[in-house]
Amino acid sequence: MSPSQDPITDESVQAWAQSLAQTTQQPLPTILQTLATDTDREVFSELLHRVIRPDDPGETVDAITELRSRPRQGWPENVEAALKTAARFARRAPGYARNQIINVMAEGLDAVIDTPQTEPTPGADLQIMEASVLGRSQAAKRVERLRVLLDRPAWGSVTVPLAEVLAPAPHWAFKETIRDLETVLGPLLELLASTNRAEASEHPDDTWEPRAVFLKIQYDCQLTVLEHLVLNLCERQELRGLVLGLDLPTPFDTTSSTQLTELHQRFATVLQRVYTATGHRAVIRLNTADHRALSGAQQSYVLWSAWIQHVMTPEIMERADLRIRVVNPWDTQQLHRLAELYDLEAHLYPGGSVTTELMRGVPAELVEHLQAEHHRVRRYGLLVWQTDTRLIIRALYHRLLHGDVAAGLDQQPLNGPYFGFQTRPVYPHQDSLQQLRAGRQILACLPDSQLGTPSVTAHTLNTPDDVRAVVDRAVAAQRPDQQDQHPEPDVLSHLSERVAVVDELIATMDTQRDQLLEVLCSETGRTLTDAVEEYGDAIDAVRWNQTVAQQLPALRGARPVAATPTLLLSGRSHPLVEVFGVVTAIYLTGGGCVISPDPLTARTTAVSVDILQRTLAERLVDFAVVRAGDEDFLGRVLCTDPRWATVVHFGPDTAAHRLRIMKPDMPLISGFSSKNAMIITPTADIDQAVADVVTSAFTTAGQTPASCSLVVLVGSMTGSARFKNQLVDATESLEIGYPTDPRVHLGRLVEPPATPLNRGLRELGPGESWWLAPAEQDSTGRLYSPGLRAGVRVGSDAHISEYRGPVLSIMEADTVEDAIEIINMTPYGLSAGIHTADEHSQRVFREKIHAPIHFYNAPINRIRPGILGLTGVKHSASGMLGALGARSWLNQFMTWHDAARTTPQSQPSALVSALAGLPTAVQRLLAAAEADGVASDWVSEAARSDARELKTLLGTHQVASPAGLPRQHRIIVEAWAEPTPVTIRWETGPLQHLLRVVAAGLAIGATMTVSVPHDLPEQLRQLLDLDSTVTYRCEDASSFRRSLQKQPAPERATASGRLIPQITAEPRIRLITDHSTPEAQAHGNQLASAILHARGAEAPVTLVHRPVVSASRLEMMPFVHEKSSLSSREVREN
Digit-coded pLDDT (tens) for 23-78: 344 445 566 666 667 677 778 878 888 888 888 888 888 888 888 888 877 777 88
Residue 992 CA, chain-centre distance (Å), reads 44
Over residues 768-780, the mean pLDDT reads: 96
Q: pLDDT digit string (tens) for 555-577?
A: 989 999 988 899 999 999 999 99
Q: What's the sign of the alpha-carbon dihedral 240, 242, 243, 244? A: negative
pLDDT digits (tens, 9 = 90+) for 265-283: 666 677 778 878 888 888 8
Query: Cβ–Cβ contacts within 10 Å for residue 1085, how many?
Result: 16
Q: What is the pLDDT of residue 361?
A: 63
Half-sphere exposure of 439 (CA within 13 A, CB side): 25
CATH of 676-862, one of 3.40.309.10, 2.30.29.30, 3.90.1170.50, 3.30.420.40: 3.40.309.10
**pLDDT at 967 (0 to 100):** 41
| CA-based nearest residue to 255, from 418, 407, 412, 415 | 418
Whether 158 contacts 149, CB under 8 Å = yes
Q: Does residue 1078 carry a pLDDT above 70?
A: yes
For residue 422, pLDDT beyond 60: no
What pLDDT score was predicted for residue 284? 80
Provide the residue type at 456 as one letter: V
Distances (CA, A) of 961 to 420, 966, 977: 11, 12, 19
- Least confident range of 235-239, 397-401, 612-616, 672-676: 397-401
CB atoms within 10 A of CB 473: 15
- Taking the alpha carbons of 407, 413, 415, 420 in that order, is the dihedral positive or negative? positive
Question: Whole-angstrom Cα distance, residue 336 to residue 301?
Answer: 11
512 confidence band (pLDDT: 50, 70, 90):
very high
Quick check: 229 pLDDT over 70? yes
HSE toward the beta carbon, residue 33, CA cutoff 13 A: 13
Contact 357/325 with Cβ under 8 angstroms?
A: yes
Residue 242: what pLDDT? Answer: 87
Report which of residues 1125 and 112 the model is more confident about.
Answer: 1125
Q: CB-based contacts of 832: which residues, under 8 Å, 6+ apart?
A: 676, 677, 678, 679, 823, 845, 849, 851, 853, 854, 855, 860
941 sits in the region (left: phi over 0; alpha: psi -120 to 50; else beta) called alpha
Q: How far apart are the first and last CA of the chain?
A: 41
pLDDT score recorded for residue 881: 81
pLDDT for res 243: 87
Helix (H, G, I), strand (E, B) or coil at 380: strand
Q: How many CB atoms lie within 10 A of CB 838?
A: 23
User: Greater confidence, 940 or 413?
Assistant: 940
Does residue 309 surpass a pLDDT of 80? no
Range list of H helices, 525-589: 528-550, 575-588
Handedness of CA 654, 657, 661, 666 (dihedral sign): positive
CATH number, domain 900-1126, options 3.40.605, 3.40.50, 1.10.357, 2.120.10: 3.40.605
What sign does the dihedral 743-745-751-752 (CA atoms) show? negative
pLDDT at 327: 60
* Half-sphere exposure at residue 245, Cβ-oriented, CA atoms within 13 angstroms: 26
Cis peptide before 672 (omega within 30 of 0): yes
Q: Which of 285, 284, 282 is nearest to 271 (CA)?
A: 282
pLDDT higher at 834 or 880:
834
Contact 695, 860 (CB under 8 A): no
pLDDT, one tens digit per residue, over 181-220 is 999 999 999 888 888 888 888 877 666 778 888 888 876 6
Lowest-confidence segment of 6-10, 604-608, 828-832, 946-950 by average pLDDT: 6-10
Q: What pLDDT does 209 receive?
A: 77
Mean pLDDT of all residues in 366-384: 70
3 preceded by cis ω (within 30°)? no
Sequence-ordered strand ranges (E) for 689-762: 708-714
Query: In angstroms, how far is CA 423 from the centroid of its own chain?
Result: 16
Residue type, 508: T
CB-CB neighbours of 350 under 10 Å: 8
Burial letters 3-28, b for 16+ CB under 10 A, else e: eeeeebeeeebeebbeeeeeebebbb
Which range is least confidently modeled, 239-248, 461-470, 815-824, 1001-1010? 239-248
Question: From CA 245, how far away is CA 261, in angstroms rounded?
Answer: 19
pLDDT of residue 1: 34
Give φ, ψ of 453 to 5 degrees.
-60, -45
CB-CB contact of 405 with 327 (8 Å) = yes
Domains 464-480+487-671 and 900-1126 fall in the same CATH topology: yes
pLDDT score, position 235: 84
SS3 track for 831-890 = EEEEECCCHHHHHHHHHHCCCCEEEECCCCCCCCCCCCCCCCEECCEECCCCCCCCCCCH
Maximal CA-CA distance, the chain: 107
**938 has a pLDDT exceeding 80:** yes
Radius of gyration over every alpha carbon of the chain, rounded to an integer in angstroms: 32
3-state SS, residue 811: strand
Residue 257 carries which side chain, given as an amino acid letter? Answer: S
Q: Comparing C-alpha atoms, which of 601, 372, 589, 620 is closest to residue 474?
A: 620
The pLDDT assigned to 12 comes to: 42
Sequence spans of domains, the chain: 30-105, 109-402, 464-480+487-671, 676-862, 900-1126
CATH number among 3.20.20.220, 3.30.70.260, 3.50.50.60, 3.40.50.300, domain 109-402: 3.20.20.220
The string over 296-318, giving b where at least 16 C-beta atoms fall within 10 Å of a residue's C-beta and e elsewhere, is: ebeebbebbbbbbbbbbeeebbe
Helix, strand, coil percentages (3-state) for the chain, rounded to 5, are: 45, 15, 35
User: Do residues 677 and 800 make contact, with C-beta atoms less than 8 angstroms apart?
Assistant: no
Residue-level length of the chain: 1134
Q: What is the model's pLDDT at position 484?
A: 43
Please give the full DSSP string across 305-359, using - where no structure is assigned: HHHHHHTS-HHHHTTEEEEEEESSHHHHHHHHHHHHHTT-GGGTSTTSSEEEEEE
Nearest Cα to Cα of residue 155 among 205, 186, 187, 199: 199
d(CA 831, CA 851): 5
Highest mean pLDDT among 533-537, 786-790, 947-951, 1046-1050: 786-790
Is beta strand 971-979 parallel, antiparallel or unpaired with respect to 957-960?
antiparallel
Contact 211, 251 (CB under 8 A): no
The yes-or-no verdict on residue 885 having pLDDT over 80 is: no
Q: How high is the pLDDT of residue 253?
A: 44
Residue type for position 847 = E
* pLDDT score of 663: 93
pLDDT tier, 255 (very low <50, low <70, confident <90, very high otherwise): very low
CB 666 within 8 A of CB 647: yes
Decide: 745 and 170 in contact? Cβ < 8 Å: yes
Cα–Cα distance between 417 and 414 in angstroms, integer? 9
Q: What value does the mean pLDDT take over residues 1064-1074?
A: 91
Mean local confidence (pLDDT), 80-89: 88
pLDDT of residue 9: 44
Q: Please tell me the predicted confidence (pLDDT) of residue 414.
A: 33
Q: Give 804-854 pLDDT, tens digit per residue.
A: 999 999 999 999 999 999 999 999 999 999 999 888 899 999 999 999 999
Mean pLDDT value across residues 92-103? 85
Tell me the CATH class for 464-480+487-671: alpha beta
* 808 vs 694: CA distance, rounded Å: 9
How much is the pLDDT for 761?
96
Can you give 932-964 as a three-state secondary structure string? CCCCCHHHHHHHHHHHHHHHHHHCCEEEECCCC
Whether the pLDDT of residue 121 is over 70: the answer is no
Identity of the amino acid at 1027: D
> Does 154 or 715 have the greater pLDDT score?
715
Mean pLDDT over each residue of the chain, to the nearest integer = 81
Which SS3 state, helix, strand or coil, does residue 118 take?
coil
- Determine the average pLDDT of the residues in 509-534: 94
DSSP string, 26-65: -SS-HHHHT--SHHHHHHHHHHIIIIIS-SSGGGGHHHHH
Q: Dihedral of CA 506/510/512/518: which sign?
A: positive
Q: Measured between alpha carbons, how far is residue 934 from residues 876, 930, 990 in Å? A: 41, 6, 10
More confident call, 352 vs 1111: 1111
